[in-house]
Amino acid sequence: MWAIKALFFDVFGTVVDWRSSIIRELGMFGSDKGIDADWADFADHWRSLYQPAMEEVRAGRRPWTILDVLHRESLNTLFAQFGIDGCTEAELDYVNSAWHRLDPWPDSVKGLTRLKQQFIVSTLSNGNTALLVNMAKRASLPWDVVLGAETAGAYKPTSQAYLRNIDSLGLTPDQCMMVAAHNDDLRAASAFGMRTAFVARPMEHGMMQASDLKAEDDWDVIANSITGLADTVLS
Amino acid sequence: MWAIKALFFDVFGTVVDWRSSIIRELGMFGSDKGIDADWADFADHWRSLYQPAMEEVRAGRRPWTILDVLHRESLNTLFAQFGIDGCTEAELDYVNSAWHRLDPWPDSVKGLTRLKQQFIVSTLSNGNTALLVNMAKRASLPWDVVLGAETAGAYKPTSQAYLRNIDSLGLTPDQCMMVAAHNDDLRAASAFGMRTAFVARPMEHGMMQASDLKAEDDWDVIANSITGLADTVLS
């Protein structure tokens, strides 16, 4: 369809269930260390510092910095805020690497494996390369290539984050489809000439999710899972 | 062994048989177009322009330029030199993309598939990302991640080509092994702190090959195939 050669996937929320995985990792760490906290609340706070941290880079107020480093700085902030102390630097590094151990949604591996037969399947994530590769190894995500903010040197939704990665595959934007559970990611991709697929993930933020519950625009494909996307786009 | 996390593979010559594949692609093109030439000689000339073209970039005499562009410039030179004319730009682009259609050596896919169970298997090639991804799709090379000169912005054997890619996986050089059929690639990798594996490819340059017939140093592993490497390093 539309001569598409590559599918670019947003990862956090679209391919993996970051929130449940982070709550699980924090809970296991807390249990080992005898630390009690509202880990769901902690996870939501950690994620809430994600966009402001990237905005410092996008706005040019700090030089290029990978997400592992931004996550680690946010973690330091939150450990202080939640009154958790007595952890070593190595323990903080381990907690931070929880973002490398996120579980896929139940349809992700199956859907990607089918789509890979016909298309280049790539990440297009704000996660750094090490994070995405370690996640893929653990979760058996069958990426053909791991692209994103680090390979572009720019965070979504800047144009460079999309266009530099498309260019590195020798493709034009109209040969590429952005797949995301977030309408704003698709709005940016569409503005830069990509095709778009919305995959609804109404539980990304848990039971009380209020945003991105449905497609807010006439995206090229609207699906409820990556296998559903495969049903639509595979010829 | 040695706490190795990632295996970085040289690609041209080590994983794929570039020479036979390029001769085949040139021959098919010539046959279609009614052009007769000594395509083996042409292939050897094309490859002989590879190091001088990269040297312009390495030496800082031209800005960063991907290999597809360097190959295309060399192709223009050789078509003139061999007296071949009457080809369109699109036809020249197609011939140039022969480097995206190289066949693996018979042991490559099997060896990489086994090694992938225990290690991150990555390219570390002077080929650009599009070339390596298209090659991998066609040949079923199961890379976990596609790294190389383009992701580093530097050609081997400069230190940046090795160290920037190692860093992007969050690893240190001693956690990484360079796998190559070329002693000079391993000498560089070793100087930058990587472990080394030599895979002999005595037919890379055809029957008359005179260089890299055997390991010239005490590399950590010396093998005759990627499956042989797997036999040695898999625990």
pLDDT digits (tens, 9 = 90+) for A135-162: 999 999 999 999 999 999 999 999 999 9
Is pLDDT at B2 greater than 70 in this prediction?
no
Query: How much is the pTM?
Result: 0.97
CB-CB neighbors (< 8 A) of B169 in chain A: 129-130, 133
Give residue B1's pLDDT: 56
Any residues with CB less than 8 A from the CB of A155 and at least 6 apart, and which? A54, A57, A58, A126, A149, A161
- How many inter-chain contacts (A to B, CB under 8 Å) are there? 55
pLDDT of B194-223, one tens digit each? 999 999 999 999 999 999 999 999 999 999
List, for residues A79-94, the tens digit of each pLDDT value.
999 999 999 999 999 9
Domain A6-17+103-233, classified CATH 1.10.10.10, yes or no: no
Determine contact, residues B99/B127, Cβ cutoff 8 Å: yes
pLDDT band at A1 (very low <50, low <70, confident <90, very high): low
Mutation site for B-interface testing, chosen from A135, A169, A171, A175 by largest number of B Cβ within 10 Å: A169
Give the domain ranges of chain B.
6-17+102-233, 18-100
Which pLDDT score, from 0 to 100, does residue B235 have?
Answer: 79
**Residue A195 pLDDT more than 70?**
yes
The CATH architecture of the domain made up of B6-17+102-233 is 3-Layer(aba) Sandwich (3.40)
In this prediction, does ipTM exceed 0.90?
yes
Q: Domain A18-100 carries which CATH code?
A: 1.10.150.240
How far is it, in rounded angstroms, from Cα B103 to Cα A179? 31
Tens digits of per-residue pLDDT, B137-184? 999 999 999 999 999 999 999 999 999 999 999 999 999 999 999 999
B109-to-A173, B120, B139 alpha-carbon distances in Å: 31, 15, 8
Alpha carbons B230 and B233: distance in angstroms, whole number: 5
Question: How high does pLDDT run on average in chain A?
Answer: 97
Return the pLDDT at B146: 98
Per-residue pLDDT at B83 exceeds 80? yes
Q: Which residues numbered 121-150 in B keep a CB inside 8 Å of some CB on A? A: 128-131, 133-134, 136-137, 143-147, 150
Domains A6-17+103-233 and A18-100 share a fold: no
| pLDDT at site B188 | 98
Q: What is the pLDDT of residue B221?
A: 98
What distances in angstroms separate CA A134 from CA A32, A139, B10, B26, one per listed residue? 23, 9, 21, 40
CA-nearest residue to B151 within chain A is: A151
Cα diameter, chain A: 56
Average pLDDT rounded to a whole number, residues B58-72 = 98
